[in-house]
Amino acid sequence: MIISQVIIYAWVQRSVSGHFEQMDSEILTHAAFNLRRSINNVDAQTKSAAASKSQSLTSTNHLHSSQRDYDLKTVIANKNGALLSSDPTSFANDLPSDFSLPQLWQVYRDQQFTVEIKNRNYRAIIIEHQALLALIALPIDVHHHYLIHFNRQLSMILFAITLLLVSVTAFSVYWGFAPLATIVQKMKRINPERLDERITVSDMPLELRSLAQSYNSMMVKLESNFESLSRFSDNIAHELRTPIATLSTQTQVMLNKPRDGNEYIEQLHHQHDTLEQLSAMINNMLLLAKTQKGLSESQIGNVNTERLMTKLVDYYEMLAEDREITFEKSGEFVTVVGDEGLLQRLFANLLSNAIYYAASASTITVSATIITSGIGLDGSKEEALAAKQRLLKIVLTNRLDKPLEQSEAEKLFERFYRHDKTSSQHSGTGLGLSIVRAIAHAHKGKVNIAIKDEYYFEVTVELLLA
């Protein structure tokens, strides 16, 4: 704003000065024309009279009365610099002692210039007529005083306008961003008991609605993550409390009275099973924490999914023989980027869960296809992922023993969630599919579950190709 006001000041000041210079130039040009005509008249008179030209010039008014209203001054001299006449006569006395009209003529030949004579400012022009040189000077002190006063007034006006605009802008910014105080107050009130508070987007100005929407979106994620963390804390406390209480109870029972050696051995076997369950749970939790941080450079390599899936399918086929469950593998299993150990754990968990949920005497299909995607694996259309990416899509499909809703299937990714807690076939910790999702995200991939016709369970995994 200050720069714009300085530009306006310079432009106005230059425009006014240029206007005065143009007026002065017109007056001097007209005066020079009249002076030339006066000198021509003197030449005509001297030809018919005996008087000399210098005497005629001395006795002749150089300028018309209309031009003398501008207080014009004239000095006429010959080419040697000798003054012949001046109008008014006293003006010649005001000239400095070193004043030389021929020297000024050499510098300002037919050009207008400014000169200071006896503390007064003049705009002048020198004309040549035959053997004579004439100086015409127009006082411009009035213009100088006017410009000084005008510049002072203009500066004050522009300063006042700048101050007013700054004040209005500051007030507008304060008024326009006042709704930010609402967001600030809600942020100050954030605590675990008040995560459901939201900002009414329609109450915000248009410029801040995107901020309010982002805030609400952040609070939704924060509330969801906090609830998930709370459930995880409750679940882990419950899951750890049960085996520990079992170990404590078994130990107290065995210590109450002496028992046969076989009873001690049997109880040690029970306690060993319980400790293995605790160890598996702790290892799974450590694996979850590890994969949530992503993969390091040393972990990333090329993984042959053909060899990996063949080995896992052969292993789980033997485990599924009792329920007459078979596997059918098809498609192009190619090399992907990732950690082989983690990917083996991912597919092992999927195959284990597929056997658990599959109906007896059914077939579990494992198919692979190569797809191209221009959308980020997390679902966002980022510019960095605008280039087409080649992915390996692996789909596991099996027929369920019991119908399952899509909403219930989504919960299978939650930690410690078990769909059928009464079943004796599956004694896991409820962390299997949570680990699958964490490993997929660590590999910048994704995993989805879909229920087809309530009885067909389909798990899709997408991974980046090498």
The pLDDT of residue 451 is 83
**Closest C-alpha to 60, from 80, 81, 74, 47:** 74
Q: Does residue 373 carry a pLDDT above 80?
A: no
pTM comes to: 0.49
Which string of b and e fits 357-369 if b means at least 16 CB within 10 Å?
bbbeebebbbebe
Q: Does residue 426 carry a pLDDT above 50?
A: no
Task: Please state which of the four CATH numbers 3.30.43.10, 3.30.420.280, 3.30.565.10, 3.30.390.50 is assigned to the domain occupying 295-464.
Answer: 3.30.565.10
Residue 10 CA, distance from chain mean position: 36
What gap in Å lies between CA 12 and CA 31, rounded to an integer? 29
**Mean pLDDT of all residues in 266-273:** 84
Rg, C-alpha atoms of the chain? 51
**Closest C-alpha to 229, from 430, 13, 414, 425:** 414
**Mean pLDDT of all residues in 77-93:** 82
Q: Where are the domains of the chain?
A: 2-146, 193-293, 295-464
The pLDDT of residue 388 is 61
**Closest C-alpha to 117, from 90, 95, 150:** 95
What gap in Å lies between CA 344 and CA 359, rounded to an integer? 24
- 214-to-142, 182, 220, 342 alpha-carbon distances in Å: 65, 14, 10, 35
The pLDDT of residue 45 is 61
Whether residue 409 contacts residue 232, with contact meaning beta carbons closer than 8 Å, is answered with no
The torsion angle over the Cα atoms of residues 136, 140, 141 and 142, rounded to 10 degrees, is: 130
Q: Does residue 332 carry a pLDDT above 70?
A: yes
* Backbone region of residue 265 per phi and psi (left: phi > 0; alpha: psi in -120 to 50; beta: other values): alpha
- For 453, the token pair is 């016709």
What gap in Å lies between CA 326 and CA 350, rounded to an integer? 15
Q: What is the pLDDT of residues 337-361, one digit of tens each?
A: 888 888 888 898 888 888 888 888 8
Q: What is the pLDDT of residues 118-163, one digit of tens each?
A: 888 888 888 887 778 888 888 888 888 888 888 888 889 988 988 9
Strands (E), 149-241: none
What gap in Å lies between CA 462 and CA 448, rounded to an integer? 9
Q: Does residue 383 carry a pLDDT above 70?
A: no
- Which contiguous run of DSSP H or E holds residue 397? strand 389-399
Q: What is the pLDDT of residues 149-200, one digit of tens each?
A: 888 888 899 889 889 998 998 888 888 778 888 788 888 888 877 788 888 8
* Backbone region of residue 240 per phi and psi (left: phi > 0; alpha: psi in -120 to 50; beta: other values): alpha
Of the candidate ranges 33-47, 83-97, 100-114, the one whose mean pLDDT is the lowest: 33-47
What count of residues does the chain have?
466
Q: What is the pLDDT of residues 206-225, one digit of tens each?
A: 888 888 888 889 888 888 88
pLDDT confidence of 272, banded at 50, 70, 90? confident
Residue with token string 């006449």: 85
Q: Does residue 55 carry a pLDDT above 80?
A: no
Angle between helices 305-319 and 340-357 (to 10 degrees): 40
**Domain boundaries 2-146, corresponding CATH code:** 3.30.450
- For residue 448, give the 3-state DSSP assignment: strand
Contacts of 417 (CB under 8 A, 6+ apart): 411, 430
What is the average pLDDT score of the chain?
A: 79
Q: Phi first, then psi: give them for residue 313, nearest 5 degrees.
A: -65, -45
Looking at residue 73, what DSSP letter applies?
A: E
The pLDDT of residue 382 is 47
- For 275, the token pair is 């400790």
pLDDT confidence of 377, banded at 50, 70, 90? very low
Q: Does residue 283 carry a pLDDT above 60?
A: yes
Q: Phi first, then psi: give them for residue 243, nearest 5 degrees.
A: -65, -35
The pLDDT of residue 278 is 81
Q: Does residue 366 carry a pLDDT above 60?
A: yes
Q: What is the pLDDT of residues 392-405, one digit of tens each?
A: 888 888 887 777 77
pLDDT confidence of 418, banded at 50, 70, 90? low
Q: What is the pLDDT of residues 232-263, one digit of tens each?
A: 777 677 667 777 888 888 888 888 888 788 88
Omega before 88 cis (within 30°)?
yes
**Closest C-alpha to 288, from 455, 386, 416:** 416
**Mean pLDDT of all residues in 68-95:** 80
Q: Does residue 378 carry a pLDDT above 60?
A: no
Report which residue type is found at 198: R
Report which residue type is found at 428: G
- Greatest alpha-carbon span in the chain: 167
The torsion angle over the Cα atoms of residues 395, 398, 400 and 406, rounded to 10 degrees, is: 10
The pLDDT of residue 164 is 92
